[in-house]
């Protein structure tokens, strides 16, 4: 008899099988809204994984310098965002309520921060079109100072986009970004 097995009606069940059954039961008990949230956050994580791979491929083209540093910074922002979303995803999957405290105070996303979401999404859309235009400018040059400056500008825009998208996701999924959501009177 295996000491790790659990006896159920005189039959032995492997603990891994029992854990799988519990996970299926828990996921089956979720409401439609919770399932939509889960699928939405999983889609965001997949998008971030794709962006990380693209950025890492771009990073491999450079040996050093400003452009490589900007790409590296963007990669870390994307990874941090992914980690935050994965934490929220796992909490929702297993029905765990996450509570964040910052400086000893519980973090609660304010209503004014929630109202920023459409503005952030609009700003992301505008920035995306600027990035597309900058990519066309970069493609015009094959070398030299002008190309280097154009690429640095493009990577700065991409880094800004990653930071702004992190803010969008923090608002959407109520994740802490304490400094980004402070009222001016709280400083």
Question: pLDDT per residue over 47-97, tens digit each?
Answer: 999 999 999 999 999 999 999 999 999 999 999 999 999 999 998 888 888
Is a pLDDT exceeding 90 seen at residue 133?
yes
Kindly state the percentage of the chain with pLDDT values over 90: 56
> For the segment 97-126, what is each residue's pLDDT rounded down to a tens digit?
888 887 888 888 888 888 899 999 999 999
Task: Please give the pLDDT value at position 5.
Answer: 47
User: Measuring CA to CA, how many Å separate 84 from each of 30, 81, 91, 169?
Assistant: 21, 5, 11, 9
Average pLDDT over residues 17-26: 59
Task: Please give the pLDDT value at position 99.
Answer: 84
User: Measuring CA to CA, how many Å separate 166 from each of 120, 135, 177?
Assistant: 10, 22, 9
Single pTM value for the model: 0.76
Average pLDDT over residues 12-38: 62
Nearest residue to 73 (alpha-carbon basis) of 85, 87, 49, 56: 56
Task: Please give the pLDDT value at position 102.
Answer: 78
Q: Where are the domains of the chain?
A: 32-186
Q: What are phi and psi of 10, to 5 degrees?
A: 65, 15
Task: Please give the pLDDT value at position 25.
Answer: 59
Is a pLDDT exceeding 60 seen at residue 18?
no
- Residue 58 has a CB neighbour count (10 Å cut-off) of 17
Is a pLDDT exceeding 60 seen at residue 30?
no
């Amino acid at each position: 008899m295996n000491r790790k097995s659990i006896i159920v009606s005189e039959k032995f069940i492997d603990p891994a099988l029992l854990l799988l059954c519990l996970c299926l039961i828990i996921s089956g008990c979720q409401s439609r809204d919770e399932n939509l949230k889960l699928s939405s956050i999983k889609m965001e994580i997949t998008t971030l994984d794709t962006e990380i791979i693209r950025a890492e491929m771009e990073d491999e083209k450079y040996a050093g310098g400003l452009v490589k540093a900007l790409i590296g910074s963007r990669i870390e922002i994307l990874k941090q965002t992914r980690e935050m979303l994965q934490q929220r995803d796992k909490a929702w999957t297993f029905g765990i309520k996450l509570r964040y405290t910052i400086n000893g105070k519980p973090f609660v996303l304010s209503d004014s921060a929630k109202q920023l979401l459409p503005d952030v999404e609009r700003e992301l859309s505008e920035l995306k079109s600027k990035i597309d235009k900058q990519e066309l400018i970069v493609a015009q040059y094959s070398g030299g100072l002008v190309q280097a400056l154009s690429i640095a500008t493009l990577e700065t825009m991409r880094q800004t986009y990653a930071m702004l998208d992190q803010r969008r996701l923090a608002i959407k999924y109520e994740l802490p970004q304490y400094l980004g959501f402070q009222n001016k009177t709280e400083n």
